[in-house]
Structure 1
Amino acid sequence: MRVYSPGYLLSGLLSVAIAAPASAQPDAVAMAESHFVRGRADMLAGRYQTGCPALAESHRLDPRPGRLFTLAECEARRGRIATAIARYNDYLALYSRMSKAERIKQHERYRLSLEQRDALAPLVPHVTLSLPSGAPAGTVVRHDGITLERPSLGVALPVDPGEHVVTTQAPRGPVHEVKFTIEASESRTIHLEVKPPVEEPPPVRSQGPSVKQGVVPPGDRVAGPAPAPPAAGPGGRRAVTYVTGGLAVSGLVLGSVTGWMALSESSRAATECSNIGPDVAECSPLGKAAGDRAKHLGLMSTIGFGAGGVLAGAAVLLLLTEPRPPLPHAGAVSWSLLAGPTGAGLTVRSRW
């Protein structure tokens, strides 16, 4: 790594001058200036891990030649040689597009950029990333999180000294990670490894009895005619029939009970009453009350028997007129062709 002279340090201090006019929004310019002041102070104090990112953010918010040159200086002192050379080249490209007046102002930075770039170039390490010949198409290679396409593989790439991480991943395959450390001026070739795609397990198939027993896994069965669906439960019509029949039974039971009670009360009234002459009847109060109850119970018995009879007839009619499911054809035969890895067979079932 190059040792900086006092004169060079002085030039770094002078790099805070901003030559180009502001092109960003006022808020962005203010934030960029704040990042620049803080980043330059950290750089001069040797805190490159915080100073260089602050300078990079300053240049992103408000790109100016002075910010770019100072960022290149910080990366060089930080030891990121390849990154520093890239920033010096960016500054030189910007310098080539300046007007004559701007070039005069930036001449010292231009000269230092050339000197630093030429001095650092021999120190840049290079790494060659090589995929195996059988790597699946679509394999993704990432170097420090940056995806590399095919043109970047198999050729020497400039990198910064230090530790690096390279990952490979085949389509539907796991990520394979490789870490390596490289020194200044070193050239290395990293032979990458690609993990094969993860094969999905086959679907689990139920293990039933063997083919000899007439049963094979579902995937190997060639079925004959489908069995008849199970009979459905009682429908709405059958439910109405049941309800009507129940009401008919209730009516008949009511008629029977009230009829028996009417006969009992009538017999009681006959006992309590006595006939006097052919047209006159005398009854005691108990007999008269029993006679009245007999009349009412007789009426209820008549109504119960009548309603029960009507409802019973309706229930029988509903039952007789209910649609019937088609009966299975006599002599129906079902068959199943069984096939398996150890043989095949035919199962025949008949129903009469």
Structure 2
Amino acid sequence: MKRRLRRIAPLVLVLFPLAAAAPAAAQGSATAESLFNQGLADMEAGKYETGCKAIADSHRMEPKPGALFTLAICESRWGHVATAFTRFGEYLALYQQMTPDQKSRQGERAKVARQERDRLGPLVPELSLSLPPGAPAGTVVKRDGRVVDGAQLGAGVPVDPGEHVVSTQAPGGAAWETKIQLAEGEKKQVELQVNGASTPSPSGASGRRTAAFIAGGVGVAGLVLGGVTGALTLGKKSVVDEHCGSGIGSSDETACDQTGIDASESASTTGLLSTIGFGVGLAGLGAAAVLFLTEPKQGEAATGAASRQIRAGVLAAGPGGVVLGASGRW
């Protein structure tokens, strides 16, 4: 994955005067000077892990533009393109604040920094991390041992190529960990998992609330069906009155002509549908209310404590009406 970036001749000309001037620039800080010289020697020997660390420690102890520039060069040669891109940007921002005399003492560094940023930009990978729906509040996400700020979740964040270790941990839960490999210039989106939260239990708060919405939707649909078919039944009743019994001049109220017979049969069907629709509607709304009212508290769901459970529904339906029932435990 990591490749050694080709050294270019101008960098040698830029870094050599820095090495010679390091004792003077250190202004009596022997430790910072020693770390810088050690880091520069390791970098030139291709020992980037120890070299970059020593230069970074020197710069932290005594911030200097030249040390920052050298650190960017070291990270770039090491293959840490995202870190190098950032370091060159920091150097250029610092360069803009310098006086003309200070800028002149920087030589070609600013020019090289711009060239390196232009070259490294397309090589910087981006990693976007996101939590699954239903992840508990307070879930901690870490990348390479460092906590990821919540504002960065879901956004593409520049990272160095190579392997990255990402973990999640919900409050009081077990940690979950994965390894993600990124190539230069690669952009990857990863939805993480959270132990105990990535697959919510249907009996938990989230599953119970979803069931309540479904039951409520069924209830509303049932009431609509009952209302529509009920209106049709009333319409058929007037037709029956006109084509049966006295409506056709018969003393037998059950006697009907063909139109009356058809209307009577149709009214019977729509009346049954209306009865069932209203029954299902009331049962659905009742079940939704029960599910909402008996939804377990967050603490109960987290600890797995037994919660109140109730099931409500239509047990039977027929021409004479519907039978509703409920069962469960408190």
Please, what TM-score do these two structures have when normalized by structure 1?
0.53
Partner residue in 2 for 1:150: 150
Matches within 5 A, 1:51-62: 51-62=51-62
State the one-letter code of the partner of 1:71: L
Q: Distance in 2 between matches of 1:142 and 1:20?
A: 40
Equivalenced residue count is 202
Partner residue in 2 for 1:296: none
Q: Distance in 2 between matches of 1:146 and 1:18?
A: 36
Q: Distance in 2 between matches of 1:154 and 1:65?
A: 34
Q: Distance in 1 between matches of 2:39 and 2:115?
A: 23
Q: State the superposition RMSD in angstroms.
A: 2.6
Name the CA shift for 1:66/1:82 in 2 (closer, same or farther; >3 Å): same
Name the CA shift for 1:130/1:201 in 2 (closer, same or farther; >3 Å): closer
1:173·1:196 contact (CA, 8 Å) conserved in 2?
Answer: yes
2:176·2:195 contact (CA, 8 Å) conserved in 1?
Answer: yes
Q: Matched residue of 1:155: which SS?
A: coil
**What runs of 5+ residues in structure 1 fail to find an aligned partner?**
203-352
Q: Deviations over 1:283-338 (max 9, x none)?
A: xxxxxxxxxxxxxxxxxxxxxxxxxxxxxxxxxxxxxxxxxxxxxxxxxxxxxxxx
> Highest Rg: 1 or 2?
1
Name the CA shift for 1:66/1:17 in 2 (closer, same or farther; >3 Å): farther
1:19·1:65 contact (CA, 8 Å) conserved in 2?
Answer: no
Please point out which of 3, 10, 14 is paired with 1:11: 14
Q: Deviations over 1:31-50 (max 9, x none)?
A: 00000111000000000011
Name the CA shift for 1:46/1:57 in 2 (closer, same or farther; >3 Å): same
**What runs of 5+ residues in structure 2 fail to find an aligned partner?**
198-300, 306-330
Matches within 5 A, 1:176-215: 176-196=176-196, 200=303
1:170·1:194 contact (CA, 8 Å) conserved in 2?
Answer: yes
Matches within 5 A, 1:235-254: none
Partner residue in 1 for 2:93: 93
Q: Distance in 1 between matches of 2:92 and 2:22?
A: 15
Partner residue in 1 for 2:231: none
1:167·1:178 contact (CA, 8 Å) conserved in 2?
Answer: yes
Q: Distance in 2 between matches of 1:88 and 1:143?
A: 23
- What's the offset of the Cα at 1:171? 1.0
1:17·1:66 contact (CA, 8 Å) conserved in 2?
Answer: no
Q: Deviations over 1:214-256 (max 9, x none)?
A: xxxxxxxxxxxxxxxxxxxxxxxxxxxxxxxxxxxxxxxxxxx
The structure richer in helix per residue is: 2
- What's the offset of the Cα at 1:201? 7.5
2:139·2:170 contact (CA, 8 Å) conserved in 1?
Answer: yes
Q: Distance in 2 between matches of 1:182 and 1:47?
A: 23
Q: Matched residue of 1:184: which SS?
A: coil
Please, what TM-score do these two structures have when normalized by structure 2?
0.57
Q: Matched residue of 2:10: which SS?
A: helix
Q: Distance in 2 between matches of 1:178 and 1:84?
A: 26
Q: Matched residue of 2:19: which SS?
A: coil
- Percent identity over the alignment is 46
Partner residue in 1 for 2:111: 111
Q: Matched residue of 1:195: which SS?
A: coil
Q: Distance in 2 between matches of 1:43 and 1:15?
A: 14
